[in-house]
Each structure stands twice: as structure tokens, then as C-alpha cells.
Structure 1
């Protein structure tokens, strides 16, 4: 159970967000409100309010960032997409939940063997969705999209793209210290600070040692985050000049060593593929690879649901590489098969929430499946409409970047291309892990805004004018006409 410190952190986050927006430029305030909330706030702790989504480490930073921009800074946030494709996907993502609720009014009933002497059976059930639940479900969809819109409006320019990479770099370097602590002494920080462990402790042990988790949902999430930090540092080492270039390279090599200690095979493979590309490939080549990865992420569930994925061949290759990882992969595939069969019973709009998309033992109510990949969770909950809408909103910006990236090298941006690559590898990892976070939506929005600007042939090299009194002296943004200082 969460202790008072866990709830206090959630309560204090609006105040932390206010301080960030008072002290930092709007771009960096948005980034750190979302990213720091993801890294620092307690997992599995929420305020359960009636008729609204749970207020937790996802929804509170999203609402704070959006609220500060609109209410405190009085900035205008454009919501309606410029292209018909994104308009259809946006409407599907928000309004597609309406038929999901309306087609899942019935409860799912199963019998539970009674434990009392006077009653032989107790009837258990999963509740049906009510029309009143529409308000909560629609609110969840809108809160989810808040960083998406903020990224599109404020982070698509050159400065915003660089700020995203710097934030990932600094966040990874800061997080490496508690990660190394947990690698050495076991994952205990969430227990010591927030009063409980957020996952299964056995999954944090591998190869005779520990995998760190700190305040994230799982050790795999932490390893993936560090991988994106390594990629960001390598990109900065390529794009920057002088001492900043050397610092970024040394920091990237250090963080790569920490990533190895995290014992996550997938994240290490991603780093092995992406780091050479970020260091040596052209901008167009990086975006081309990003497009291919995004296409695989979108198409895979369609192939999987039709039985066109060679599972046996994949398992044989994994067995030759690492038997333990092959066993884990086989377990995931078996769960996917069961969940796909369940989802095919309501393929268009899904089963909705309350665990209705999972496979249960109809005699005992026990859950028989554990969904791992984000795609199977969304597909089972919201059907093809929900899945294609969500994946489309995340993947179409990658396609737009590939389609409209300028041929003139002067108008390209190494920062924007690397951010696109990070988004694409996240989509690939969503096939095996439910790793979609608010920061993913933030960078997807930034890529979307950048691609729209390329489509309009805007000049994105100019930076926005400083609004004056709101920006006060900070480490990252000194006053006056002096040269800008950064930590990288």
C-alpha cells in the first residue's frame, strides 16, 4: 500500500509544475513537467475520483502541463490536424470509445466456489460498462492526447527538438545513479520512499544479479529509457561542437555501460542498431529506417491475427541465441494467441475496461492471461478502431517525416531525425511491452508538428522570441544577450 509520501508527491506535482513554468522557457517546462513526473512520481498510486480518470503519475503531469500552458501562459494550442488522415485518426481515437462502451453493457458472469459452510456457490462477475462511464473514458482519451498536442505546438522547431534530446540525456544521466544503486543493493528505492514494491520482485533478478527499476513500472522500462538517453547523447555528440561534443560522447559511453548492467537484451539490441546510425548515417537514412520500423509496428498485429507470422522460426532463432529469452518469448506468444482469440469475439470496438479483454477461468474467475504488448492491450480493449487510431496517431507522423523531409540538407535537422528514430523504436518495442508513456506522446507530437511544417515549407531554423518577464535566470537559460549556456 502506498504511504503518505506517495500521495503527497502527487499532491505537490502541480506546485512543482508551476515552478518549472515560472523558471523555464515554455518548451523546457513542458518537457520536464511530463518527463520528471514519469521518472519521479510513485507507480501504482492514484486518487480515485468519481466519473473522472484516476489521478496518477500519468494524468497529473499531463493535466498540469496543458493547464499551465493554457491558463497560466495564455498560449493558444492548435488541436485540429491539417491533414485528413490525422483528422480521421484523431476522431477515431476520441470517439471510437463511444461504441466500445455501448456494445459492452452486459456483465461477464462466472461462478466462484464458495468458502462458507452455508453457501455452496458465490456468483462473481466483471461489470458491464454504463453510459455514465462514457465521461470517464472520453476524459482518459483527451488527457492522453494532451502531451501530443503540446509537442505539436511547442516542440517542433529546432530548439524544441534539441531540448527533447537534452532532456533525455540529462534524465538518463541522473537516473543512472539510483539505477547503479539498485543494481548493487537490489531494487528497494520505491519501497523505502513510497512504501511498497511496484511489481514482481522475482522479475528484477537475472543472471545472478539485480535489474534496476527505481520508480518506473518495470526494469524493462528503465532499460529502454536509458537506451533512448544513450541515443540522445550520441546524437548530441554528432551535432554539437567543442567541449559539448566531447562531454556528450563520454557521457554516452558511460551510460552505455550502465545499460549493459541493466541486463535487458531488447534495449541492448536497439542500442547496437541505433547508435551507429545516429553517429554516421545521413538524416534521410535515419528517417527511412524510422519509417520502416513504424511500418513493421503497424503491420505486425494484422499479420499476427491472420497467422502469417512465422512464430516457430522466430523461437528457433531465439533458442539458438539464448534459451531463457526464447522461453520468455514463447510465453508471450502463447498469451498473445489466447488474447487474440478473445479479441476476435469483438473485433471492431473491443471489450472495454475492467479486465474484460482478458481470458478468465469461467468457473473460478481467475485471470489466465497476462498481456505484455501495448498493441494486444489496445486491440482487446478497443478493437481495430481503437488500435488503428492509436497506432496511426503515433506512426503517421513518422511517415509524414519520411514523405516530406526536405531534400536540401540545410533545412534538415539531425535533432528532428533522431527524435523520429526514437519514436519509431518505441513503436517497435510496443509490440512486446506496454511501454507507451506520456513522453512518447510528447515526442510523437513534436514529430507531427515538424512534419506539418515541412509540408508547409516553413522555416524552422529561427527560434521564437523571448517573451521577457516570464523567463527568469536559470542554469539552462541565463539572462541578457550572453551566449546560451547548457549542461551539455
Structure 2
């Protein structure tokens, strides 16, 4: 169980956020409030308040960044995007949970048969969702979207893009100190600081050594964060002056060695594939690659649901690389198949929360399935409606950026937008296997969407934005398009 330090950190983060917003420029205050909160606050620990979502390391920084930006600095955040497709998806994301709650009012009962008599005895139950849960679930959806909305408005310029990439690099460099310690001596940082270990310790042992986890929910999350920081460092090195480029090159080498030490095959593959693309490929190829990967990530669950993915062949291929990895992948596929069958009972609106979407023992209510991929969690919880809303919001910025780049000159296009789009696309791919959707991902999506909207609607944020949309600008922020476009 978390100790007092864990809860004190959660309580202290609003004060930390206030200091950040008073002393740093707005863009950097937003970045460090959310990124540092993700890296430093305790996992699992939370405040369970009535009628509102749990306040944890994801919710508290998001709320503070949104609240301080809006109320203390008087810098309003538009609640709805300008592009009609994004606007519809935001509304669907927030209000689409209403039919989920209304169609899951029945409790789930678990019975056992008495040994002496054939009498059913109520052993356990999961409550049904009530009308009061509508407000709580909608508030949770709004909190999840806060980093997305903030980034769309204030992290969507080339300068803010650079700050975002730099924050990822600096965060990974600072995190490398406890991570290297855990690689050498075992993951104990969270135990020493917050009094508990946040996951199954056996999953931290790979290849005869340890995988670092520090204060994150799983070692895979740390490995993926290092992979994104490696891509960010490569993007910064590409645009740096000759004097600073070699230093950033050393940073890339250091982060790559750290990534190897994290012992995650998927994250290592992301680093090996995406880093050279970020460092050397033309921007148009980066955008095309991000778009293709984003579409694959969105379409895969549909193909998986239709049984068109040859899972047996995929597992057999990975057996040629590593038996352990093949076993892990096969376990994930088996759980996906069970959870898909469960989700098929309520395909449109899902089963709602409290574990109702999981496979449960009919007598004890014990959880028999382990959902790994973010997509299967969303699909089982909110059905196709929720899946389309969430994955659509994350993938649509890639589509709009590629579309806007077709009419934008190379000289006027942000050199950092494509690398952030690739980081977002890599996250979408990783979400097929892991639930690695975090506020940083929503920030990347918002930053890409906001920049794409600036290109599509010149002058979008020139004037003080209105509460909804902020589209009353008079002058252009982007240069006129030329014949030589990015795409």
C-alpha cells in the first residue's frame, strides 16, 4: 500500500504546479506540470472522492494545468476544435458515454452452489451503472481531454513543438539516473520512496537482468518513454547548429544505450526504425509514414474483430526470434480473443467500468482475463462508439497534418511537427499491445491537431480565442503556400 509520502506528493502537486506557472513561460509550465507529474508522482496511489473520478498522477497534473492556465493566467482554452471532424469526435468522446451508462444498469451477480443442498448462494456482485454515474464518467472524459485541448491552443507553434521535444529529452535524461541504478541493482526506487512495488516483480526480470520501472506503472512504459525521447533528441539534432549537433548526437547514443538496458523488444524496435527516419528522412516521408501507421493502428482492431489477423503465423514468426517473446505475444492474443467475445455481447456501447468488460469467474467473480492493449480496453468498456471517438481523436491529427502539408511550402512548415506526428503514430501502434495512453500522448495529439488547424485556417489563434473554437481571428499566421509543398 502507498505510504504517507505518496499521498503527500499528490497533495503537493497543485502547489508545485502553481510555482511552475508563476516562474516559467506558459508553454514550458504546461509541459513540466504534466510531464514531471507523470514521471515523479506515485503510481496506483489515488484519492477516491465521491461522484468524481479518482485523483491520481494522471488527473491531478491535467486539472492543474488546465485550471491555472484558464483561471490564474487568464489564458482561456477553447473547448471545441475548429475542424468539424475533430469537433464531432470531441463531442462523441464526452457525450458518447451516456448510452454506455444507460444500457448497463443491471448488476452482475456471481453465485456458488452449496455443498449440502443445490441452493444458489450469492457470493459476489458488480453493481450496475446508475444515472449518477453519467456525470462522473463524463467528468473523467473531460479530464482526459484537458492536455489535448491545452496543447491544441498553446503547444501548436514551432517554438512550442521544440519545447515539447526538449522536455521529453530532458525528462528522459533525468530519469536515466534511477533507471540505470535499477538496471544494475533491481527496481526498488518506488519501494524506497512510496513504500510499495507497483506491479508484478517477476515481469521486471528479463534476459538475466532487471528492467527499470522507477515511478511508472510498468517497465514497458518507461522503455517506451525512452524510445520517444530518443526520437525527440534525433529531431532536435537534425535542426541544431553544427556546434550543438554533436552534443545532441551523444545524447542520442546515450539514450539508445539506455533503451537497450530497458530490455523491451517493442520499444527497441521503435527506436531502431523511427530514429533514423526522424534524423534523415524528408519531412514528407515522415508525414506519410506517420499517416500509414496511424491508419494501421485504427484499422487493426476492426480486422482483429473480423478474424482477419493471422495470429498463429505472427506467434510462429516471433518464436524464431525469442521463445519468451512469442509466449508473451500468444498470451496477449488469447486474452484478446476472450475479451472480443465478451465485447461482442454489447458491441455498440460496451459494458461500462468496474471491470464489467472483463472475463470473470462465474462463482467467485475473480478476474480471469488480462487486457493489455488499450484498444481492447476501450472497445470492451465503451463499445464501437467509444473506440471510434478515442482512436479517431488520436489519429485524426495525423490525417489533417498530412492534408495541410500538401498546400504548405517546405520553408514555412515546422521542422518539429513531423517528428511529433511520428511519436504519436508510434504510440498508436504500441497501444495495440499495451495500454500506454498517457497525458503526454494527448499533448502530442493536441499539438499536431492545433498546428494542422493553423495551416488549414490561417489566423485561427491570432486574436484572443473565444471559449468555443476561437475562430474570430482577422490576420494570417502562416505564409502563403507555394508550389513546392511538403507532401
TM bracket, shorter-chain basis: over 0.9
**Deviations for 1:11-63, whole angstroms, at most 9, x for unmatched residues?**
00000001100111000000000000000000000111100111110110000
Partner of 2:5: 5
Once residues 37 and 195 of structure 1 are traced to their aligned partners in structure 2, the CA distance between those partners, rounded to angstroms, is: 18
Q: Deviations over 1:339-368 (max 9, x none)?
A: 000000000000000100001111221211
- 8 Å contact 2:375–2:432 — kept in the other structure? yes
Task: Confirm or deny: 8 A CA contact 2:453 2:460 kept in the other structure.
Answer: no
Distance 1:212 1:112 in 2: 42
| Kept after mapping to 1: 8 A contact 2:373/2:435 | yes
Task: Report the equivalent of 1:298.
Answer: 298
How far apart are 1:457 and its partner, in Å? Answer: 4.2
Please give the alpha-carbon distance, in whole angstroms, between the structure 1 residues aligned to 2:286 and 2:114.
59
Cα distance, 1:113 vs. partner?
Answer: 6.8
Is the Cα contact below 8 Å between 1:93 and 1:389 reproduced in 2?
A: yes
* Contact kept in structure 2, 1:3 and 1:194, CA below 8 Å: yes
Q: CA–CA distance in 2 between the matches of 1:114 and 1:263?
A: 48
In 1: Cα distance, 2:223 partner to 2:241 partner: 28
Secondary structure of residue in 2 paired with 1:434: coil
Counterpart CA distance in 2 for 1:158 and 1:114 is 67
User: What's the offset of the Cα at 1:244?
Assistant: 2.3
1:120 Cα deviation (Å)?
8.8
Match of 1:233 in 2: 233
* Residues 235-284 of structure 1: per-residue CA shift (max 9 Å, x gap): 11111113322211101101100110110000010011111101110111
Aligned to 1:89: 89
Aligned counterpart, 2:474? none
For residues 66-145 of structure 1, the aligned pairs below 5 Å read: 66-112=66-112, 121-145=121-145
* Residue 431 of structure 2 is aligned to residue 430 of structure 1: yes
Q: Which runs of 5+ in 1 are unaligned?
A: 466-488
C-alpha distance in structure 2 between counterparts of 1:459 and 1:317, whole Å: 49
SS of residue paired to 2:125: strand
| 2:332 equivalent in structure 1 | 332
Q: Is the CA contact (8 Å cut-off) linking 2:294 and 2:398 kept in structure 1?
A: yes
| TM-score, normalization by structure 1 | 0.92
- Residues 113 and 364, structure 1, Cα contact 8 Å, conserved in 2: no
2:470 alignment partner in structure 1? none
State the SS of the aligned residue for 1:123. Answer: strand
1:258-315 Cα distance to aligned partner (Å, 9 max, x none): 1101100000100111111011101111010000000001000000000011112211
Write out aligned runs for 1:85-234 (5 A). 85-112=85-112, 121-234=121-234
Deviations 1:171-209 (A, max 9, x none): 011111100000011000000000100000000001111
The residue aligned with 1:316 is 316
3-state secondary structure, aligned to 2:411: helix
Deviation at 1:121, TM superposition (A): 3.9
| 1:319 CA displacement | 1.1
Distance 1:236 1:133, change over 3 A: same
Aligned to 2:34, the other structure's residue is in SS state helix
Deviation at 1:80, TM superposition (A): 1.7
Bigger drift between 326-335 and 403-412 goes to 403-412
**Cα–Cα, structure 1 residues 464 and 37, in superposed 2: closer, same or farther, change >3 Å?**
farther
The residue aligned with 2:260 is 260
Quote the residue 1:486 is aligned against: none
**Structure 2 portions without partners, runs of 5+:** 465-487
> Quick one: distance in 2 between partners of 1:341 and 1:277?
38
* Alignment partner, residue 398 of structure 1: 398
Q: CA deviation at 1:373?
A: 0.2
Task: Please give the per-residue CA displacement for 1:313-342, whole angstroms capped at 9, x wherever unaligned.
Answer: 211211111111011000000000000000
Tell me the equivalent position of 2:48.
48
- Give the distance between the partners of 1:191 and 1:184, measured in 2 at CA: 16
* Corresponding residue for residue 30 of structure 1: 30
Secondary structure at 1:410 match in 2: coil
Deviation at 1:411, TM superposition (A): 1.2
Secondary structure of the 2:123 match is strand
The 3-state SS of whatever aligns with 1:36 is helix
Deviations along 1:210-240, whole A, 9 cap, x unmatched? 0000000100000000001111111111111
Rounded Cα–Cα distance in structure 2 between residues aligned with 1:121 and 1:187: 43
Contact 1:283 1:412 in 2 (8 A): no
For 1:278 and 1:48, locate their aligned partners in 2 and report how far apart those are by CA, in whole Å: 42
Which runs of 4 or more aligned residues in structure 1 lie more than 3 Å from their structure 2 counterparts after TM superposition?
Answer: 112-115, 119-122, 457-460
Q: Is the 8 A contact 1:113 1:122 kept in 2?
A: no
**For residue 378 of structure 2, what is the aligned residue in structure 1?**
378
Q: Mapping of 1:445-460 within 5 angstroms?
A: 445-457=446-458
Partner of 2:355: 355
TM-score normalised to the size of structure 2? Answer: 0.92
Distance of 1:458 and 1:133 partners within structure 2: 40
Instruction: Say if 2:444 is the partner of 1:443.
Output: yes
Distance 1:184 1:366 in 2: 36
Which residue pairs with 1:485 in the alignment?
none
Aligned match of 1:483: none
